[in-house]
Amino acid sequence: MDTVKIGLCGLGTVGTGVVKVLQGHQERIQHMLGCKIEIEKVLAHDISKARDVEIDPNWLTTDPSDLVDHDEIEVIVEVMGGIDETYKILERALKNKKHVVTANKDLMALHGQKLIQIAKENQCDIQYDASIAGGIPIVRTLVDGLASDHIEKVMGIVNGTTNFIMTKMTKEGLDFDVVLKEAQKLGFAEADPSADVDGLDAARKMVLLANLAFKMELNLDDVKVKGIRQVTQEDINFADNLGYTIKLIGIASMDDHKAEVTVEPTLLPKDHPLALVNDEFNAVFVHGEAVGETMFYGPGAGSLPTATAVVSDLMEVIRHLRLGISGKSYVEPQFKRQLKADHEKFSRHFIRLDVEDQAGAFQEITNVFSENSVSFAKILQLPAKEKGRAEIVMVTHHISQEQLLKSMQALEKLTVVKRLISHYRVDGEE
Ligand SMILES: NC(=O)c1ccc[n+]([C@@H]2O[C@H](COP(=O)([O-])OP(=O)(O)OC[C@H]3O[C@@H](n4cnc5c(N)ncnc54)[C@H](OP(=O)(O)O)[C@@H]3O)[C@@H](O)[C@H]2O)c1
């Protein structure tokens, strides 16, 4: 095998990066693999569009069958995005015995298990490292690097847009709406930012990471998701006074073969490694029983960082082809899908209440918490802007979700409590 021919679906941000990496690093790639990689066909919407990369016009097509039914193409590299149409293209490619590399987390989070099954049935590889955290090789780290360990927790900043927004809000004291507009102007947020700011993009990545880390088959619906739209400057300032930074954090943890996966704004101690990850950067913190804590940091998106991950996946597929082990490296899920119940989910919480500023109010509130065995690490009481009101800000010790919900329900019934202003998870400290 002197040359492996590939079909590239998509020639946008990532696709042009893939062409650049293949052209710029051809000698090194050939040295590592012992064969050449040749682009045979490229699928795009508009083949007359000017491209920011040197391409052979004969490559371009708008017809997916020119790639997936091509006799000589052995690997399909999918960097076009989309779900339903893309699923059909990749399904057909796998059934035609073509291996697949994809950067598409939306597709993998929704249909990844089905595609992996089809790949197995056809002795094909499907690799998707670039779909999670762009340039950080986190999939290979979980599957290979930490294969011998029992992974207990994966925690990370896996969405660059929200990290950019939270960083600006924290450092510059600006409100969410102002920073969002700036992020859109700079190209860090899309015109419709909901998938990012409402946490869905991070949830899609976290479910993929949880399944790899815990050898389970969890679904996107198993992830509890809360975005960053409601985070205010007051929340950030109170968190800061108490020694914390707020970030959108994905957390997947497993105890007794039961999992919990969440994506939510989370308070981290200011000196926690993830609290120091700023701007559009991503980082994933992995806790293994034997290895302890490890952290992987880097660009979570962008043309060349993502393309590097795509081409590394492509090289892995070609190595398997040359060794005759394609489609043989899948690890079956080891544990059945089991989720933690509310009484098994433990964490610390930041709670901010708007209360009547009157004698005995504080006592009534602390009574509710002590009836539910909730104790506090930190409490602040401050006068509110409105006359006759006060704000109480608390950070609990570790409590169960059940204790939290019962306490919240009881607080709602107290006349001295006017409103639960905000509530966030606190993580990253014992
Ligand atoms: N951008 C990043 O930093 C990044 C990071 C990690 C993962 N990803 C993932 O990588 C994938 C691609 O992202 P991107 O930012 O490169 O997207 P993009 O810039 O919008 O490029 C998409 C490309 O696919 C082509 N295309 C889309 N739908 C098509 C269809 N139905 N038929 C034919 N061609 C089609 C487009 O053709 P035309 O050029 O002719 O319009 C374009 O070349 C997505 O799944 C994304 O989630 C992106």
Q: How far, in Å, is the centroid of ligand 1 from the Cα of 72? A: 24
pLDDT tens digit string along 288-340?
999 999 999 999 889 999 999 999 999 999 999 999 999 998 878 889 999 99
pLDDT tens digit string along 379-411?
988 888 889 999 999 999 999 999 999 999 999
**Tokens matching residue 135:** 């340039």
Q: β-pairing, 281-288 with 292-299?
A: antiparallel
**What is the percentage of the chain residues whose pLDDT exceeds 90?**
92
- Atom 21 in ligand 1: residue holding the nearest Cα: 12
Is there a contact between 245 and 170 (Cβ–Cβ < 8 Å)?
A: yes
pLDDT tens digit string along 12-46?
999 999 999 999 999 999 999 999 999 999 999 99
Strands (E), 131-257: 151-157, 223-225, 244-255
pLDDT tens digit string along 338-368?
999 999 999 999 999 999 999 999 999 999 9
Please compute the mean of the pLDDT values over residues 174-181 and round it to a whole number.
Answer: 97
**Closest Cα partner for 201 from 253, 254, 248, 140?**
248
- For ligand 1, say whether the CB of 79 is within 6 Å of any of its atoms: yes
Is there a contact between 194 and 200 (Cβ–Cβ < 8 Å)?
A: yes
Q: Is 190 exposed, middle or buried (0-12, 13-18, 19+ CB in 10 A)?
A: middle
**Tokens matching residue 297:** 């940091």
Looking at the domain 138-299, which fold is it?
Dihydrodipicolinate Reductase; domain 2 (3.30.360)
Other CB atoms within a 10 A radius of the CB of residue 270 amount to 14
Identify the active-site residue in 205, 226, 340, 345. 205
**Closest Cα partner for 164 from 174, 154, 150?**
174
**Tokens matching residue 116:** 């992996």
- For ligand 1, say whether the CB of 10 is within 6 Å of any of its atoms: yes
Looking at the domain 343-426, which fold is it?
Alpha-Beta Plaits (3.30.70)
77 alpha-carbon distance from chain centroid: 21
- Atom 30 in ligand 1: residue holding the nearest Cα: 45
**Ligand 1 atom closest to 47 (CA):** 40
Q: What is the mean pLDDT of the chain?
A: 95
**205 among known catalytic residues:** yes
Q: β-pairing, 3-9 with 36-43?
A: parallel
Q: What single DSSP character describes residue 220?
A: G
Cα(26)–Cα(20) distance, integer angstroms = 10
Rounded (5°) CA angle 103-108-111: 145
- For ligand 1, say whether the CB of 326 is within 6 Å of any of its atoms: no
Sequence-distant (6+) residues with CB within 8 A of 332 are 215
Sign of CA dihedral 395, 399, 405, 409: negative
Residue that has been written with the tokens 């094909």 in this structure:
124
**Ligand 1 atom closest to 46 (CA):** 40
**Tokens matching residue 156:** 């990370």
Name 259's bridge partners. Answer: 254, 339
Is there a contact between 106 and 220 (Cβ–Cβ < 8 Å)?
A: no
**Tokens matching residue 168:** 């600006």
Give the DSSP letter string of 54-85.
Answer: ---GGGEES-THHHHT-SSEEEEEE-S--SHH
- Atom 32 in ligand 1: residue holding the nearest Cα: 45
Q: Which one is the CATH code of 3-133+303-323: 3.30.450.20, 3.40.50.2000, 3.40.50.720, 3.20.20.70?
A: 3.40.50.720
Q: How far, in Å, is the centroid of ligand 1 from the Cα of 45? A: 10
Comma-separated ranges of CATH 3.30.360.10 domains in the chain? 138-299
Cα(182)–Cα(165) distance, integer angstroms = 9
Q: Which of 9, 13, 105 to mutate to test the pocket of ligand 1 (most atoms within 8 A of CB)?
A: 13
Over 70: is that where the pLDDT of 430 sits? no
Comma-separated ranges of CATH 3.40.50.720 domains in the chain? 3-133+303-323
Is there a contact between 213 and 142 (Cβ–Cβ < 8 Å)?
A: yes
Q: How far, in Å, is the centroid of ligand 1 from the Cα of 202? A: 18
**What is the percentage of the chain residues whose pLDDT exceeds 70?**
100
